[in-house]
Structure 1
Amino acid sequence: MRSDLKSFSRVFPWQGQPARLEIQNLTALMLLINLVGLSLFIYSWFFVRPYNLLAWYEQPKLTLRPFTQDDPSTLGWLVWAFLVQGGLYWLGWRLALQLRGRAAWLIVLGGAMAFSIALLFLYPLDAADIFDNIMHGRIWGVYGANPFRDVAKQFADDPFYPYVAWRRTSSAYGPIWEMLAGGVARLTGDGIVANVLAFKLLNGLFLAFSIGLVAVILRRTAPERALAGVTLLAWNPVVLYETIGNGHNDIVMAVWLLAAAWAIFERRYTLTILALLMGALIKFIPLLLIPVAALMALRHLPDLRARLRFLLTTSLAAVALIGTAYGPFWYGLQSLGLGRRTELFTASLPAAMRAWLYLTWGVKDIGWVISLAAAGLTALFVLWQSRRLWTDPSWLNFVQVSFNILIFYLLVTCLWFQQWYTIWPLALAALLPPGHAPRLAVLFSYAALSKHLIFGPLLFWVRPRPPRAELEMIFGPAVHTLPWLYTLLALWLVRQSKSNTDAIESP
């Protein structure tokens, strides 16, 4: 009789377990839908309602400061809203680790789209960069001038001139971005709201491309965490706030980091280098990853002939791409704007070091020395990570090494730090397994917000304001303390884990 029951159970498995799993899955889906609704309410009520683009667009260079003067609790409510959104984001990511199926994908992608549509109507509060981008786009697309040579001051009658913060400064971006900006500005016309929405939609398009690349890559490499990886990027409140809400263009560069990760997975090494170069022609940061990508190619190619062919083909294609991109704008080496990058310091370890040298020793013209030292330290770290990649030339290790380089640059050697830069490593963290890297990327993105919402107001809104050098001594370390501490903790835990593993394996 007992053997008959065993046979019956093998032929007709117990139906309670699948039913229970189905109920759990439906419960998780309903919870995910509720998270979307609550997050959308918070974005709409606490972000868009008080700072609506349609209500405030006639006010140039509007920031949070005048709102806090009228109501000191304004900043506190925004901080609270970000913290709640962070909790909802974490819950959504945890659910995405468990869920499978089309319904879960539709909820996650639909939620990201709903959040983005709401944030389209947020007035850009944390910087005037989107207006500078529009103005530089108009310099080329409307006036036919050169945004790498000509500045906003020369076009004082333009309707966007009152909104521009850097009126005497040429474009800080690469030619690919200026082509995109010029095309959008030319098509959109002179309307303030129309241009702001158009540039935000351009960012939204590249955010959608980035999400698509994360989905495609993970469905090939780790389908069990594809939905979680997409959620990590698509629902991140800082990514949405900075990309859609404030219109920063970092996602336009970050998409090429993901394209390079896809190309290297497919072992299309020339495309990998060209993808990184495309990103560098928007913002220079992907140049840091070209050495490790080239090393990955040389490590995998079978013989000397294949390696020489790769080097020749890639070099010719890179020269052609650079020439095509810079052709319409070139007027000499000044087009690269290299000198300007050594003069800008804020909210970073180098900025604090520069301020300390000035306050302690009276050293003033030290910026170029610090920038050279930071560049040298970055190069050494890239070499160290290249050695790590040579010993383990796997695709996943390439992504990890690239993430490490970006994190090191932002935490240690970046001269001019802004909170939206944290989008770069977070895009790559979406491809990595749950662990220290994604946690650090998310923590860093939130810690960086303290520059805009906590330490910036505390240090720079006071009157009379202390000297800038005194503030920079505090500013960068205050913003970076949490990610520094977590990085040290993660390194210690990894070392401990390795020591325990070695102890177990040793005879």
Structure 2
Amino acid sequence: MTKFTPKLTSLILLTLASLLGYWLIWSWFPLRPYFNTVPLQDVNSLAPSLLAGLGYGLLLLALFGLYWLAFRAVQDGLAKPSFLFLLGTAALFAIPLLQTYPINANDLYRYVIRGRVSSVYGQSPYAMPPDAFPDDPFLPLAGEWADATSPYGPLWELLAAGTTAVTQNNLWAGLLAFKLVGLLAHLACGWLIWRLLARAAAATQRSFTLLWLWNPALLLMFVVDGHNDVLMMVWQLVAIWWWRQKRPLLTLLFLLLGALTKPIGLLPLPFFAVAIWRELENGTARLRVFGLGMMLGGTVVFLSFLPFGSPLDLLARLVRESSGAPGFSPSTLLLLILGELGQPLTPEFIASVASWARLPYVLLGLWLLWLGWRYGRSPLKAAADFLAAYTVQALSFRLWYSTWPFLWLLLEDEQAHAHVPFRLQAGLWFLLNVQLSVLIYGHLRVYLLGGSQLAAHLIGIPFVFLLPLLISFFTSRRAA
């Protein structure tokens, strides 16, 4: 139970100040006036000046600063909030965010539109893109992805179909429904993290749960933008719970459910498979667990794709996406430099660069598997490393990629720390810098760099991918 001490009163003041910040975001970027307008909006269009962009950046920094002060107060034992306090304040922050326009990712609209492919038109979103239904009233809102089929797993598409079957032609209700899914999944993750940290020191359990629930980047991604990655993370946290309970079959099943929500969820699965193989006592136990796992997994995959047809359509879609449309990534910076030097940036050349960028990533995955096999290195650490590396090698980096490693970094070390571990620090700075990067590729590029994508990438790539590591390195050394 929360004890209202003077120190907790200061935490309440931080709560109120944070709530004010989120209220300012809602008042600045309200959903209601713009939710059904074309073209779709973003930070650049709703804050259309260099001064406005600076104001948005300062607001983000203020929210992260309040978040960090709250974390330090809880970590140092100066405030001892209950889980209900942490959960309730996170839900309070989300109230204005549910009414905020999805300023940094408009996938929310495609959740509605692709859900209607199934619920309204009775077709598979893996076979039929939105523009196959030219009379759909929401088609203009599909934007650049109007001719693209779904890149998500069948569990997500089943949820999307069910949601849009309820909201029908009410776009406002559809958007709010998907935002609410993101909020509920975010809170569910917070509860699971609290439970998973039950064996840690009390201050660590409270403060690390706050690091999830109060995180401005996660609230912006999962509530403002309603991004579906958080539902995948719910399954992954349940898998970690079963792994800690020594239930290997359930561990593998829930990791698979995460991948069937969003295919990127496949990446942690091999590391847990290796860890489980090592932990099982003999060949008979391994045959039983992995034999049953393959049968159960195959059945789940079959049943989840049954309403939509073959999973090969999804696989083909993912292959196309991974080999084209470069943007905001180290590979894109390389392409821009080569283009400046006279190299024609043909689709074939871009695909070739993407393939070469994947080679060291595959080698890293094999090395991480070997570390797990030979030395029993934690699969949580391997998952964090592999997902972080994915964000670096991806041809087209997206803001929500930065959320993927954070979950694993948060749980990979339960011991109490006087200071945040280097890896977790880097994950926190990565989340912040990614949020600020929209100002580099938007306002800074437009108003100070003459619209140059190359100049924006020369600033943005080190800012996003190198600066978090450097800051964390020096702060960790100073703390030591």
The amino acid of 1:205's aligned partner reads: L
What is the aligned partner in structure 1 of residue 257 from structure 2? 278
* Deviations 1:203-255, CA, capped at 9 Å, x for gaps: 11211221111011101455441111210111000100111011111111222
Q: 1:295 aligns with which of 268, 274, 282?
A: 274
Aligned pair 1:406/2:384, yes or no?
Answer: no
Query: Distance in 2 between the 1:140 and 1:53 partners?
Result: 26
* Deviations 1:397-435, CA, capped at 9 Å, x for gaps: 33222212222222x312221112211112222223431
The amino acid of 2:396's aligned partner reads: W
What is the aligned partner in structure 1 of residue 424 from structure 2? 438
What is the aligned partner in structure 1 of residue 365 from structure 2? 382
Which stretch of structure 1 is more off in the superposition, 33-42 or 322-331?
322-331
Deviation at 1:284, TM superposition (A): 2.0
Indicate conservation of the 8 Å contact 2:114/2:160, yes or no.
yes
Indicate conservation of the 8 Å contact 1:152/1:169, yes or no.
yes
Aligned pair 1:105/2:83, yes or no?
Answer: yes
The amino acid of 2:83's aligned partner reads: W
Deviation at 1:99, TM superposition (A): 4.1
What is the aligned partner in structure 2 of residue 415 from structure 1? 395
Q: 1:315 to 1:101 in 2, by over 3 A?
A: farther
The amino acid of 2:426's aligned partner reads: L
Q: 1:313 aligns with which of 292, 296, 300?
A: 292
Aligned pair 1:117/2:103, yes or no?
Answer: no
The amino acid of 2:440's aligned partner reads: I
Which stretch of structure 1 is more off in the superposition, 348-357 or 136-145?
348-357
Deviation at 1:77, TM superposition (A): 1.6
Q: Paired residues, what number?
A: 466
What is the aligned partner in structure 1 of residue 468 from structure 2? 483
Query: Distance in 2 between the 1:493 and 1:379 partners?
Result: 31
Query: Distance in 2 between the 1:104 and 1:28 partners?
Result: 14
The amino acid of 2:197's aligned partner reads: L
What is the aligned partner in structure 2 of residue 448 from structure 1? 434
Aligned pair 1:174/2:153, yes or no?
Answer: yes
What is the aligned partner in structure 2 of residue 371 from structure 1? 354
- TM alignment of 1:90-169, pairs within 5 A: 90-99=68-77, 103-165=81-143, 166-169=145-148
The amino acid of 1:378's aligned partner reads: Y
* Deviations 1:78-117, CA, capped at 9 Å, x for gaps: 1111101111100111122244998533332221010111
Q: 1:294 to 1:487 in 2, by over 3 A?
A: farther
Q: Secondary structure at the match of 1:281?
A: helix
What is the aligned partner in structure 1 of residue 417 from structure 2? none
The TM-score with structure 1 as length reference comes to 0.85
The amino acid of 1:128's aligned partner reads: N
Aligned pair 1:211/2:196, yes or no?
Answer: no
The TM-score with structure 2 as length reference comes to 0.89
RMSD over aligned Cα atoms? 2.7
Percent of pairs identical after alignment? Answer: 28
Q: 1:164 to 1:463 in 2, by over 3 A?
A: farther
What is the aligned partner in structure 2 of residue 502 from structure 1? none
Indicate conservation of the 8 Å contact 2:337/2:454, yes or no.
yes
Indicate conservation of the 8 Å contact 1:29/1:104, yes or no.
no
Q: Secondary structure at the match of 1:196?
A: helix
Aligned pair 1:48/2:26, yes or no?
Answer: yes
**Structure 1: runs of 5 or more not aligned:** 1-21, 498-507
The amino acid of 2:154's aligned partner reads: P
Query: Distance in 1 between the 2:448 and 2:121 partners?
Result: 41
Q: Secondary structure at the match of 2:307?
A: coil
Q: 1:377 to 1:321 in 2, by over 3 A?
A: farther
Indicate conservation of the 8 Å contact 1:51/1:122, yes or no.
yes
What is the aligned partner in structure 2 of residue 424 from structure 1? 404
Q: Secondary structure at the match of 2:128?
A: coil
Query: Distance in 2 between the 1:52 and 1:108 partners?
Result: 26
Indicate conservation of the 8 Å contact 1:140/1:146, yes or no.
yes
Q: 1:270 to 1:222 in 2, by over 3 A?
A: farther
Which stretch of structure 1 is more off in the superposition, 474-483 or 84-93?
474-483
Query: Distance in 2 between the 1:161 and 1:339 partners?
Result: 25
By relative contact order (CA 8 Å, sep 6+), the higher-ranking structure is 2
Q: 2:172 aligns with which of 193, 211, 215?
A: 193
Which stretch of structure 1 is more off in the superposition, 332-341 or 436-445?
332-341
What is the aligned partner in structure 1 of residue 212 from structure 2? 233
What is the aligned partner in structure 1 of residue 333 from structure 2? 352
Deviation at 1:475, TM superposition (A): 4.4
The amino acid of 1:192's aligned partner reads: L
The amino acid of 1:459's aligned partner reads: R
- TM alignment of 1:55-66, pairs within 5 A: 55-60=33-38, 61-66=40-45
Query: Distance in 1 between the 2:472 and 2:70 partners?
Result: 24
The amino acid of 2:168's aligned partner reads: G
Q: Secondary structure at the match of 2:5?
A: helix
Q: 1:83 to 1:463 in 2, by over 3 A?
A: closer
Q: 1:484 to 1:463 in 2, by over 3 A?
A: closer
Q: Secondary structure at the match of 1:54?
A: coil
Query: Distance in 2 between the 1:460 and 1:171 partners?
Result: 32
Query: Distance in 2 between the 1:199 and 1:100 partners?
Result: 37
The amino acid of 1:249's aligned partner reads: N
Q: 1:489 to 1:384 in 2, by over 3 A?
A: farther
* Deviations 1:250-291, CA, capped at 9 Å, x for gaps: 111222222222121112112222222212122222222122
The amino acid of 2:120's aligned partner reads: V
Indicate conservation of the 8 Å contact 1:292/1:386, yes or no.
yes
Query: Distance in 2 between the 1:322 and 1:457 partners?
Result: 44
Query: Distance in 2 between the 1:477 and 1:224 partners?
Result: 34
Which stretch of structure 1 is more off in the superposition, 374-383 or 455-464?
455-464
Indicate conservation of the 8 Å contact 1:273/1:314, yes or no.
yes
Query: Distance in 2 between the 1:461 and 1:188 partners?
Result: 40
**Structure 2: runs of 5 or more not aligned:** 415-419
